[in-house]
C-alpha cells in the first residue's frame, strides 16, 4: 500500500490535478471539475491536505503541518495523509514531483521467467520483512508508468531516451506505488527495496549499465517446467511472439536469425519455449558472470540450505538460518492448488507427466537453436556445474 511507501519517500511532492478545484459549501470541502462528472466530498483533514498539494511541498512537511493543526489526533492524521494520497493518485486527482536524483544503493532486483519460482525466492530473501517488496512494477499491463512498453520490452544498452530512462529509474529507486506492486509489501518503514520482476529480461544490460550498484539475481527453471505451469494456468499469460518480431532493434540486434523459426511456432507449448529462450538468451548473451547471480530453481529445491547460504553471501547480507528455512518450506503466496509443493509431488520432476516425449524433444531442438541446450536437456536438472557456464558471451 502507498502508506508503506511514502514513509520512506518523504521527499515526494504531491501536486493537484488542475482540472479539480476545491470549494467550500456550508463548511463542507468538496472537489469540483468542469471537465469531469461528479464531486468528491472531503472531510476537514482531506481538505487541509488538498491545500498543501502544490507540487513544491514535501510529504514530510505536509505531515508536520497536519499534526500541528490537528493536535489531538496526530497519529490518525498522519495515517490519513498517506491513505488519502494513495486514493487521490489512483483517482487521478494528484500526481507527484520526484527528486531529480535517484538512489539505488539499497535496491535488489530479482528477475526470472513467469512461473520460475521468483516469488518463492523473493519471499526467502525477504523472510524477515526488512525490504519494501515491489511486485512486478515493470509490468506494462498493470503499471501505468510503463504502459507504453512492450510486455517484454527490449532496450539497447546505450539508449538514453526519456521514455525508458525516467520510468525505469523511478521504479528501481522505489518511486512507484499502487495496489498491484505493493500487494505483498508489509514493511512500513525501510529504505531497502526488493524488486521481483518477470518483464525486464531484455533490458538487464541497460539496467546494469545505468545502475551498476544494483545486485541482480537471475532465476532459471527448466523451460518445460515453466511451459507446463503456464499452460495449466489457462489465460494467465500471454505467449504472443509477434511482440518480439515487432521490435526492429531487437530483431536487428538478436532475433533476425531466428525469425522464420519463431514465426513457424504452432502450439502454445512451442510458443512458450520460444518465449523462454528469448528472455534467457539475450541476458546470457549480453551479460558477464560478474554482472548477475544465477539461481537454478532445481538446485534451490534439492539443496535449499546451501543455495540460501550462497544467495545471501552474494547479497552481502546475514540471515537467521532457522527463520529463513521456515519460509523456504512454505508454498509461495502465488502457489496454486495443483503446485507440486502443495500436492507433495517432486518439485523438480512433476512437469514430466504433463508433456509427451515428442514435446520434450521439440523443446530441446528449440533450445539448440539458441545455443541453450548446454543448460537444460531431457533431464529435469540443469546440465551446468556452475552458473558461469550458462553465459553465452
Residues of the chain scoring pLDDT < 50: 1-8
In this predicted model, what pLDDT tens digit does every residue of 188-222 receive, in sequence order? 567 899 999 999 999 999 999 999 999 999 999 99
Helix (H) or strand (E) holding 166: helix 162-172
Pairing assessment for the beta strands 293-296 and 216-220 based on DSSP bridges:
parallel
CA 68 to mean position of chain CA atoms: 38
| Residue showing cell 528501481 | 172
225 vs 127: CA distance, rounded Å: 25
60 vs 323: CA distance, rounded Å: 35
| Residue 8: per-residue pLDDT | 43
| Residue 290: per-residue pLDDT | 95
| Residue 79: per-residue pLDDT | 84
CB-facing half-sphere around the CA of 275: CA atoms within 13 A: 27
Would you say 15 and 94 are in contact if contact means Cβ atoms under 8 Å apart?
Answer: yes
| Residue 384: per-residue pLDDT | 96
| Residue 80: per-residue pLDDT | 87
| Sign of torsion over alpha carbons 62, 63, 68, 71 | positive
In this predicted model, what pLDDT tens digit does every residue of 293-323 receive, in sequence order? 999 999 999 999 999 999 999 999 999 999 9
Would you say 24 and 41 are in contact if contact means Cβ atoms under 8 Å apart?
Answer: no
Residue among 148, 351, 372 at smallest CA distance from 278: 372
| Residue 39: per-residue pLDDT | 85
Cell of 222: 527448466
Record the pTM: 0.78
CA 122 to mean position of chain CA atoms: 10
| Residue 25: per-residue pLDDT | 84
50 vs 16: CA distance, rounded Å: 7
Residue among 299, 317, 263 at smallest CA distance from 381: 299
Pairing assessment for the beta strands 107-112 and 132-135 based on DSSP bridges:
unpaired
CA 256 to mean position of chain CA atoms: 28
74 vs 378: CA distance, rounded Å: 62
Helices 223-232 and 357-369 meet at what angle, rounded to 10?
120
Pairing assessment for the beta strands 132-135 and 193-197 based on DSSP bridges:
parallel
Structural domains for the chain: 2-97 (3.90.930), 107-390 (3.40.50.300)
Pairing assessment for the beta strands 94-97 and 193-197 based on DSSP bridges:
unpaired
Largest Cα separation within the chain, whole Å, is: 76
Task: Tell me the residue ranges of DSSP E strands in 81-128.
Answer: 94-97, 107-112
| Residue 178: per-residue pLDDT | 77
Instruction: Please spell the DSSP secondary structure of 168-201, one letter per residue.
Output: HHHHHTT----TTTTTT---SS-S-EEEEESS-G
Bridge partner residues of 95 (DSSP)? 15
What does the angle CA 9 – CA 11 – CA 14 come to, to the nearest 5 degrees?
95
265 vs 15: CA distance, rounded Å: 49
364 vs 362: CA distance, rounded Å: 5
* CA dist 57 → 12, 50, 54, 357 (Å): 8, 11, 6, 63
CA 95 to mean position of chain CA atoms: 22
214 vs 273: CA distance, rounded Å: 29
* Other Cβ atoms closer than 10 A to 378: 13
111 vs 114: CA distance, rounded Å: 9
Amino acid at each position: 500500500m502507498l502508506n508503506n511507501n511514502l514513509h520512506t519517500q518523504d521527499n515526494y511532492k504531491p501536486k493537484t490535478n488542475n482540472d479539480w478545484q476545491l470549494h467550500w459549501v456550508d463548511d463542507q470541502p468538496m472537489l469540483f471539475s468542469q471537465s469531469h462528472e461528479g464531486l468528491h466530498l472531503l472531510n476537514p483533514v482531506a481538505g487541509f491536505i488538498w491545500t498543501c498539494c502544490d507540487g513544491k511541498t514535501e510529504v514530510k512537511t505536509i505531515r508536520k503541518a497536519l499534526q500541528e493543526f490537528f493536535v489531538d489526533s496526530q497519529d490518525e492524521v498522519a495515517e490519513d495523509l498517506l491513505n488519502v494520497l494513495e486514493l487521490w493518485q489512483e483517482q487521478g486527482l494528484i500526481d507527484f514531483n520526484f527528486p531529480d536524483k535517484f538512489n539505488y544503493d539499497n535496491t535488489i532486483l530479482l528477475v526470472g521467467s513467469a512461473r520460475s519460482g521468483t516469488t518463492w525466492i523473493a519471499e526467502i530473501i525477504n523472510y524477515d520483512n526488512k525490504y519494501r517488496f515491489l511486485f512486478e512494477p515493470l509490468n506494462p499491463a498493470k503499471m501505468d508508468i510503463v504502459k507504453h512498453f512492450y510486455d517484454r520490452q527490449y532496450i539497447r544498452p546505450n539508449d538514453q531516451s526519456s521514455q525508458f530512462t525516467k520510468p525505469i529509474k523511478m521504479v528501481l529507486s522505489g518511486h512507484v506505488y499502487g495496489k498491484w506492486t505493493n500487494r505483498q509489501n508489509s514493511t512500513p518503514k525501510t529504505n531497502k527495496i526488493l524488486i521481483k520482476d518477470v518483464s525486464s529480461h531484455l533490458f538487464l544490460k541497460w539496467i546494469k549499465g545505468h545502475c551498476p550498484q544494483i545486485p541482480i539475481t537471475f532465476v532459471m527453471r527448466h523451460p518445460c517446467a515453466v511451459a507446463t505451469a503456464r499452460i495449466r494456468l489457462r489465460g494467465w499469460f500471454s505467449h504472443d511472439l509477434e511482440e518480439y518480431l515487432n521490435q526492429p532493434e531487437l530483431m536487428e540486434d538478436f532475433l533476425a536469425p531466428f525469425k522464420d523459426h519463431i514465426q513457424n511456432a504452432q502450439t502454445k507449448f512451442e510458443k512458450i519455449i520460444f518465449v523462454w529462450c528469448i528472455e534467457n538468451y539475450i541476458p546470457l548473451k549480453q551479460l558477464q558472470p560478474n554482472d548477475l547471480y544465477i539461481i537454478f530453481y532445481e538446485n534451490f529445491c534439492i539443496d535449499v540450505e546451501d543455495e540460501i547460504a550462497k544467495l545471501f553471501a552474494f547479497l552481502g547480507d546475514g540471515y537467521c538460518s532457522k527463520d529463513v528455512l521456515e519460509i523456504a518450506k512454505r508454498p509461495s503466496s502465488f502457489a496454486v492448488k495443483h503446485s507440486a509443493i502443495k500436492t507433495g509431488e517432486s518439485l523438480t520432476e512433476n512437469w514430466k507427466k504433463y508433456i509427451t516425449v515428442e514435446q520434450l524433444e521439440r523443446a530441446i531442438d528449440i533450445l539448440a537453436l539458441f545455443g541453450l541446450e548446454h543448460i537444460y536437456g531431457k533431464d529435469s536438472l540443469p546440465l551446468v556445474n556452475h552458473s558461469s557456464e550458462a553465459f553465452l558471451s
